[in-house]
Amino acid sequence: MSRELGKQYNPRENEDKWYSHWEKEGLFSARPSPHKPPYCIVIPPPNVTGILHMGHALNDTLQDILIRYKKMRGFEALWMPGTDHAGIATQNVVEKSLAKEGLKRQDLGREKFVERVWEWRQLYGSTIINQLKKLGCACDWGRTRFTMDQEYSLAVTEVFVRLYEKKLIYQGDYIINWCPRCQTALSDEEASHQEIEGSLYYLKYPLQDAPQEFLTVATTRPETMLGDTAVAVNPKDKRYQKYIGRYLILPLINRPLKVIADEMVDMEFGTGAVKVTPAHDPNDYNLGKKHSLEFINVMTPDGRMNEAAQKFKGLDRFKAREAVIEEMKSQGLLEKITPHTLSAGHCYRCNTIVEPYLSKQWFVRMKPLSGPAIKAVKKGKVKFHPERWTKVYLNWMENIQDWCISRQIWWGHRMPVYYCSACQAKDPKKGIIVSRTKPLKCPRCSSTELKQEEDVLDTWFSSWLWPFATFYWPFSSSCQPSAVSLQPKEKKEHEIKIKERKADLKYFYPTATLTTASEIIFFWVARMIMAGFEFTGKIPFKDIYIHGTVRDSQGKKMSKSLGNAIDPLKIISEYGTDALRFSLVFGAQGQDLYLSREKFEQGRNFANKIWNASRFVIMNLGADFTAETTKGAAYRDLDTVNRWILSRFYSTLEKVNRELEGFRFNEAANSIYSFFWHEFCDWYLELVKPQIAQKDTRAVMYEVLEKTLRLIHPFMPFISEEIWQRLKPETGISILKQEWPRLEKKFIDRKVEAEMEELFNVINSIRNMRAEMEINPASQVDIRLACNDTKLIRELEPLSSCIKNLAKVGNLGFGEKYQAGKNQYAVVSKNMQIVMPLEGFTDIQQQIEKTNAKIEKLSSEIINKEKMLGNADFTARAPKEIVENERTKLCGMKEQLKKLEAIKNGLR
RNA sequence: GGGCGAUUAGCUCAGUUGGUUAGAGCGUCUGAUUUACAUUCAGAAGGUCAGGGGUUCAACUCCUCUAUCGCCCACCA
């Protein structure tokens, strides 16, 4: 490959090329290896209908960083990819496309509709996968799983049956969250509560035995009054004592309602009297059970009023609300309406307000599952990063509610439940068969009239098995379809396959790290931990990294519906994948991420900087350099500058290691960024320019660049590969196959770093002087450095040429002491005075003022420091080093002050 | 009603267990272009670390209260 580099980095030319190279070389695949420790991440499976958004981009970049980092560190790192069938979401998408043809899913029927969804998946299911490839994800694609795969589905069935057999799954009539648009039940987590501005309606219900008297109730959902079967008051409420046990007449319906007493009624709220609608409110449901009330459902599944609503039948629930109010008003039974904000559940898929609705559903008893999952987190076997999410998790787990898992949709895992109509005819509670395979006949009555349950399972009921079901757990059933008819040879092969799969799970599971967004903790993370314990007896992962929510520059959550989303693919095509990735990671850790297009420029600029620095290095090595060219001499022969950059590299490496191990991605990115740009480029390369032909310098320059590219690689895989391929003097498949640089502490030399600090101070001060004095940038100045610390002078003298080159100095002199003199200008760098002849430069008054300001500031700092050191408590109680440190500091400051004063006098 | 987070330069944010004279990027201003990069380089201006109180020799950092903003959870009709 040619080593010539263009002037600008062009991501488009590189990305696809290197991605297919990695895939071709099999760099992403991982197999159990006796010689390597395992490291595994299972991807949070994106919806099969999904398109890559910034949330994915961030989440998957972080995982890719971990995977590439661990691969380089010598782990057998597996990133398990796949997609989620996303029941409701996918069904909605396909229904929308049907709607374009003027069809509803009912027009097709269940079987045809499900076929359509599979076709849809065939066509679009790989979109998101391809987009992850654009992002550079190092997933082991050969393992790609889908939650509706036949083998995955076997795991779902297995789990359902096991839980049912343990009596942890039950069916029953309860109030659940019903989405009238999707026409299915939702779990509590799927109904997201949002505040809405509503009203509180005060309705007057007349007494049966005294129709002129009324009891007023307050409600936010007046349409549900049609299903009222009681009115409740608090037994302690003096106002209502006399009504308890008497009857009211429900207006519009004329149903007698008993006034019941119950502690749970809040006397403060509304009128203190509550209408009770057991079929449409969870509290009222409980009251209904407790007081044996009638349950009257007044709505149809699509959110309209049913025949129980009598003349309101057919009206949409919100239209019915208006109609009911209108009617009550005309009958003089509406007392008042007051504004009221309430929080209402919204369907997390279509944002429709959910209706608390009484229906027969399937539930998982969660309490028995939560115990081990709570303990594991409390004991630190599973850790959240940042740690604060632990509390959120524990709080939810400790108050866990049963999980409604049945969905009245068609796309999903049909429940392995079969009904025997013969048995059910006798007793509806009987005749339920739960089985791994479809039973041929009823075990009780031998009837063959069996019907499978229509409902499908909640999508999360399959996702919660993801960390082990992706490894083909529970194995046993894998051979099922034709197991009986297998030939001996096939059978043997099959056994080997099973054995391999078991070894695979054993090696990679428990997985190492799970990376996800905080919204998913309840839906997925918590449930995976429970499933892990219940079905494998182990934790599913050790670390959970929760990243921030991606927001726009206004702080709004980025979403398609709000129209504020920045499309990551667009950023990729404009700025390149590496720029996108770097900018995302560069953002805050664990905090929410505010994004704007400008943020990505920073990533692009960094990529370009890497490109050009490398271009410079390659140019100077000569495009035909070899391993011989890049081989350096012994460390002891290196000069300060070269020793310094090695020291800084290894200091940076140490920091980056620590930061990555602690999931502080942004800090790691930051460390690499400032090392590369400000130390390697701004200082080192500038310093060595004059000596670039030296063999040792070339070797060090090469080595540091090559190793830095390895640090960059997990963050910016494409550009690091592209340059590395041109840089390598010997063959190698990929930078990803290189070892993560080993930390060589012997190269970290604080003394060299301190010397160089001093050099930088001097150069900065001279540059500063020149700018202040408006000296022609092209012209050289003569400088004398004055310092009574001869050791310092001895250290700096060999670096004279550096000062001359980087600060444009002609003659550079060293002197022990500064003597105030006319026509001299001087400043104080940390430990020395820098003296410049003043001839020809004007505006001395300004310099005097500046110097005065400095003196003033320094003086007050000295006073503070003296006070501090004068404090007996301080010297007595603070650690010795600190006190000593402060003393030296004070000395230095006093020196500085003296020098400044000398300068001031010199200026006069 | 509970819980969590945020509040540091004009903007976006760093600041690891308390211990230099509080940092970066963007933006602004000044200057630089045959010499790797203007997607650049050099320099400057800009902060009573939201406010009150406390602990400590020492607080941006720990505790407490208050304010503002945001998120999550909860059955208040």
* CA A296 / C1′ B3 distance in Å: 37
> Tell me, what's the pLDDT at A479?
46
* CA A678 / C1′ B61 distance in Å: 28
Q: Is the C-beta atom of A602 closer than 7 angstroms to strand B?
A: yes
Three-class SS state of A430: coil
> Tell me, what's the pLDDT at A590?
55
CA atoms of A498 and A504, how far apart (whole Å) = 10
Report residues 486-545 of A contacting strand B, contact meaning Cβ closer than 7 Å.
518-519, 522
Residue whose Cα is closest to the C1' of B6: A591
* CA A448 / C1′ B7 distance in Å: 69
Q: Is the C-beta atom of A661 closer than 7 angstroms to strand B?
A: no
State the helix-helix crossing angle for A11-24 and A577-586, rounded to 10 degrees: 90
Q: What is the ipTM of this complex?
A: 0.93
Contact yes or no for A113/A140 (Cβ under 8 A)? no
Q: Is the C-beta atom of A395 closer than 7 angstroms to strand B?
A: yes
Residue whose Cα is closest to the C1' of B13: A588
Q: Is the C-beta atom of A615 closer than 7 angstroms to strand B?
A: yes
CA atoms of A366 and A188, how far apart (whole Å) = 13
CA atoms of A103 and A98, how far apart (whole Å) = 5
CA atoms of A488 and A495, how far apart (whole Å) = 10
Taking phi over 0 as left and psi of -120 to 50 as alpha, with beta for the rest, A453 belongs to: beta
pLDDT means over runs of 10, chain A (908 residues): 80 92 95 95 93 90 95 96 92 89 89 93 91 96 94 94 94 91 89 84 90 89 91 88 89 88 85 90 89 90 89 90 90 88 84 90 94 91 88 89 93 93 85 89 86 94 96 72 65 86 94 91 94 95 88 63 77 92 78 73 92 94 82 86 94 90 88 92 93 91 95 95 89 92 91 88 86 79 81 86 88 72 64 70 65 77 80 82 82 78 69
> Tell me, what's the pLDDT at A617?
94
Three-class SS state of A518: coil
Q: C-alpha distances in angstroms, A726 versus A471, A676, A735, A808?
A: 39, 19, 11, 34
Q: Is the C-beta atom of A280 closer than 7 angstroms to strand B?
A: no
Three-class SS state of A254: coil
* CA A892 / C1′ B20 distance in Å: 12
CA atoms of A55 and A584, how far apart (whole Å) = 10
CA atoms of A735 and A72, how far apart (whole Å) = 9
Protein-covered nucleotides on strand B (Cβ within 7 A) = 3-6, 12-16, 19-21, 24-26, 30-33, 36-44, 56-58, 69-77
- Please enumerate in sequence order all residues whose Cβ is within 8 A of that of A147, keeping only pairs 6 or more positions apart, or say none: A45, A82, A83, A84, A85, A156, A459, A462, A463, A466
> Tell me, what's the pLDDT at A478?
47
Q: Which nucleotide is nearest to A879 (CA to C1')?
A: B19
Q: Residue A544: in which H helix or E strand, if any?
A: strand A541-547
CA atoms of A272 and A265, how far apart (whole Å) = 7
State the helix-helix crossing angle for A717-727 and A577-586, rounded to 10 degrees: 120
Question: How much is the pTM?
Answer: 0.92
* CA A592 / C1′ B6 distance in Å: 10
Residue whose Cα is closest to the C1' of B75: A283
> Tell me, what's the pLDDT at A553?
58
> Tell me, what's the pLDDT at A444?
84
Report residues 860-889 of A contacting strand B, contact meaning Cβ closer than 7 Å.
861, 865, 868, 871, 873-874, 877-879, 882, 889
* CA A712 / C1′ B45 distance in Å: 34
Report residues 321-360 of A contacting strand B, contact meaning Cβ closer than 7 Å.
340, 342-343
* CA A403 / C1′ B2 distance in Å: 23
CA torsion angle A411 A417 A421 A422 (round to 10): 170
Report residues 780-809 of A contacting strand B, contact meaning Cβ closer than 7 Å.
none
- Two tokens at A458? 């909640």
Q: Is the C-beta atom of A859 closer than 7 angstroms to strand B?
A: no
- Two tokens at A469? 């079901």
Contact yes or no for A304/A223 (Cβ under 8 A)? no
CA atoms of A855 and A862, how far apart (whole Å) = 10
Q: Is the C-beta atom of A771 closer than 7 angstroms to strand B?
A: yes
> Tell me, what's the pLDDT at A403?
94
Q: Is the C-beta atom of A693 closer than 7 angstroms to strand B?
A: no
Report residues 443-462 of A contacting strand B, contact meaning Cβ closer than 7 Å.
none
Three-class SS state of A815: strand
CA atoms of A414 and A454, how far apart (whole Å) = 7
For residue A849, give the nearest of A903, A798, A888 by alpha carbon.
A903
State the helix-helix crossing angle for A640-661 and A750-772, rounded to 10 degrees: 110
Give the number of other Cβ atoms within 10 Å of residue A253's Cβ.
Answer: 18
Q: Residue A160: in which H helix or E strand, if any?
A: helix A150-165
Q: C-alpha distances in angstroms, A650 versus A107, A483, A509, A703?
A: 68, 58, 34, 12
